[in-house]
Structure formats: C-alpha cells, structure tokens
Amino acid sequence: MLELAVLGLLHGSPLHGYELRQRLKATLGTFRAFSYGSLYPTLRGMKEAGWLCEDDGNADVVAGAPPLTGRRGKVVYKLTAEGKERFQELLAEAGPTSWEDETFGVHFAFFGQTDPEVRVRILEGRRSRLEERRESVRTTLARTRSRLDRYTLQLQEHGLESVEREVRWLNELIETERRTAPPVAPRSPASHPPRSPASHPPPQPPRERGAP
Amino acid sequence: MLELAVLGLLHGSPLHGYELRQRLKATLGTFRAFSYGSLYPTLRGMKEAGWLCEDDGNADVVAGAPPLTGRRGKVVYKLTAEGKERFQELLAEAGPTSWEDETFGVHFAFFGQTDPEVRVRILEGRRSRLEERRESVRTTLARTRSRLDRYTLQLQEHGLESVEREVRWLNELIETERRTAPPVAPRSPASHPPRSPASHPPPQPPRERGAP
DNA sequence: ACCGCGATGTATCGCCGCGATACATCGCAC
DNA sequence: GTGCGATGTATCGCGGCGATACATCGCGGT
C-alpha cells in the first residue's frame, strides 16, 4: 500500500526519502500521512525486492568529506525496470483491497495512469463498500435512535451524512467515467465514427501532468 | 483511547467482550472499529490496573460441565470504583490528544457525561486542528493546482470539502454549546423560576440514556 | 434423534504504521 | 562565526488490525 504510493511517486521522477514524504503528504492529502517509521523500512524492502535502486545522480559529494561518521549523504531512490513493471501490475489489480478506506485514496491518486475499466471497477467497489456501511449505520441508528444520548446521536448522524456525501461523490465520478469512456458508445461524440470502438483508448492516456 | 471507550461503555452497564465490541462498533460508528486483538489485551491491562473486575453475575453455569477443556465461560467485565474514578479523570482532561482524529470521536460519544466547559474546549481544539489542516491543504493546493493531474486534483478538493464540512459541523456544535451553557457562571437554578429562562431547547442537562 | 451451521464468545499472533527520537548537514540571518 | 530552523536518514517501542483458533449455543432441516 505504501509500496504502491512509493512506486507511483517515483514513477514520476527519482526522489530522496524526505521529499518522498512531502509528496506523500501533499498527494494523498487528507488520506493518511505516513511517517518515516514506515517509509524507510518500506524503501529498504523494495530495494531488496529489486523494485528500486539508489541513484546518487552525480557524486558531487566530496568523497572523503566526513570521514568520522558513517558517511550520511542524500540517497536518491529511482525505479528499476522491474519496479515500473510492478507498478503497472499493482495499478491493474482491482481487488477488495483496492477500496478499503486507506488504500482507495492511493489508488485514486494514480488513476491518471490506470486503465479506465479498472478505474470504474475500483470506484464501484468503493461505492458498494460505502453503501454497505451506510446501510449498517442506518439500521442500527433506526433501531437505537430512541435510546441514544443527544451527542451519540449527533455523532451517528454526522457520520451517516459523511458516508452519504462520499457516495454521491463516487456516483458523480462513475458517471463521468462512463461518459468519458462508455462501454458502448451511446452516441458519436464527433462527426467521425470512431476508429477505435471506444472500449479501449490505450494509446491515449487521459491528460497527465508534467509537461504542459 | 480504547481505554476511555471501554470505561465509558462499561460505565453504563457490565458487559462481556463480545457485546462490548458490538457496542464499540455501534457507538463509535464511522470512527474506528477496534478488533479483539486490541480489545482483549486492553481489557487485561485494565483489569491489572484495577479499573475493572470480572463479574460472573450469577454462576448458573454448571460447575463441572466441560471438565475436558479449559472451561471457557462468559466473562463479564464491570467497572470498579477506581475505574469510575479513572473515567471521570479521563473525561475531564482536554489535552491535544483529545482532538486527534481517532480520539475525538470517543470523547464526543461521552459528552453526555462530560463537563460543559470541557466539551467546548475539546470542540474548539478539534476545530482549530481541522482549520490548520484545511489551510495546509488550501495552500499546497493553490501552489500546485496547475501541476496536478485531474484525479489528484479531484481527490484534493474532495478532501478539502470534507474538512470544511466538518468545521461547519463543529461551528454549529460550539454555537449550540455556548447557547445552552453560556460562559457566565450559572446562577443557582434551584430557586423559584420553575420554567427555564430565555433559551429552552429540549435538553438542559445532558439527557442521558439508560437508567432515568 | 441427529447433524450442521451460523451466531455468540474468548483469546492470540504476526504485521505494519505511527509518533518520538537521535543524529547529521546545510543555508541564512544576526 | 554562531546559532537555529529546514533538510535529511534512520530506528525503536507501542499499539491497533486482520486472521485465526477454539469453544458453545440455538435453531432448522431431514
């Protein structure tokens, strides 16, 4: 999970731990934070697995500069070919793990590199996860409403509204996905009949970031 | 933190582990779930600390029934006097730990037993915590908006809206608190005005559940 | 009568993320 | 030139989670 995040961030450009963490905070935003206590061990593990390697760019560090200590310089991590492969692999799998609370945000953040079909599957999975929770809250709320204290009730209702809001958000996203890449073209968007039958726009990854 | 939750639940009535967990799920709702892997060790710890004891109610279990096994019966946990004391102690402290994401929900759930002043302090602490996060998201969003991919942007904005929504919620709650229990020290209410003064929303003291 | 099976119930283990902490270097203001 | 905050690497202990094992109970099916 952190693995996916690191793979994704590093897929953009090589980074060192510190900056990696900043990006993690910025990109995943409200979803999770991650700390070095997770990051560095993960990095180590991934290095051992061969997904990434250290890339000191140019070794402009004076070689013998601090001979006293264990030589602490910047360590820049960079994806290997296997790492990129691994990233694609993780992007492609849309299992139950993809729509758990913590994981979903990470997957979503890399939707730009994800296959449209997988996107929809993950969004729908997430939605049904949330709907399930919503129903659970609703029923227990209905059953126990009268027995609840004012504050517990308020907490419960706020939680319920949060879930409902998130479901609406997902609905919009799914709607948009479907309109952008419909399983069956409901209408020709342009004057041309599509040469690719709309089901696979593989060579046309949706609007990435980076170079404008 | 689990400790507070257990103390609070058990303050109502003695429970055994299984039901305790159900209540935990129901009461804390969307906030956290907790699993036995946390619950039982915590229970053990609390028992050792003297906050609670086992109370088998009536030992209507046939004493020698299953002599083959290690004799697994229901274990009902019950607060001791020290436990109740400890609960009050925890309710009274409104430190930074009280308004962290996970902890806040638990504290809030027991606001019915909490001193009004402490309630406001916790709500305000929570709010400023959230405002801080909101500003952080806003600024990084403003700085990097153009460089972000469509999905990352959407994720970011959704997160921001969530935080804003929660701040609004807290504002309402604080407002209500202030109206119900104004900062001016309340005069002795016992005397002759039998009906409440200006403001009489349904609750005056925190309407508890359970035993009337 | 019997079995099966799901709900109830107690308990533990390994994994992993977090927060705190230590240590080191760099750049810049004073 | 010195102190201090940002940058940077790394580890440790704590605590929660999910999976799992094991045990009992009540109920319906055959």
Using the predicted structure, report yes or no on whether residue A56 has a pLDDT greater than 70.
Answer: no
pLDDT of residue B196 exceeding 50, the answer is no
Residues of A in contact with B163 (CB under 8 A): 30
pLDDT tens, position by position, B58-117: 444 444 444 444 455 688 999 999 999 999 988 988 888 888 888 898 899 999 999 999
Least trusted range by pLDDT, from A62-71, B20-29, B75-84, B120-129 = A62-71
Range among A26-30, B77-81, B97-101, B131-135 with highest mean pLDDT value: B77-81
CB contact under 8 Å between B159 and A207, yes or no, is no
For helices A150-180 and B101-109, the axis angle rounded to 10 degrees is: 140
Query: Quick one: pLDDT band at residue B187, thresholds 50, 70, 90?
Result: low
Mean pLDDT of chain A: 78
Do A12 and A114 touch, CB atoms closer than 8 A? Answer: no
CA distances from B71 to A104, B18, B55, B68, B74 (A): 43, 17, 16, 8, 10
Mean of the per-residue pLDDT values of chain B: 79
Enumerate residues 6+ apart whose C-beta is below 8 A from B134.
B160, B163, B164, B167
Provide, in whole angstroms, the distance separating residue B66's CA from nucleotide C1's C1'. 22
Q: Which of A37-46, A56-65, A104-113, B158-167 comes out lowest in average pLDDT?
A: A56-65
Residue partners of A55: CB distance under 8 A and separation at least 6:
A14, A76, A77, A78
Has residue A68 got a pLDDT over 50? no
Calculate how close chain A gets to B188, using CA atoms only, in Å.
24
**Touching check for B165 and chain A: CB below 8 Å?**
yes
Residues in chain B with CB shorter than 8 Å from the CB of A208 are 149
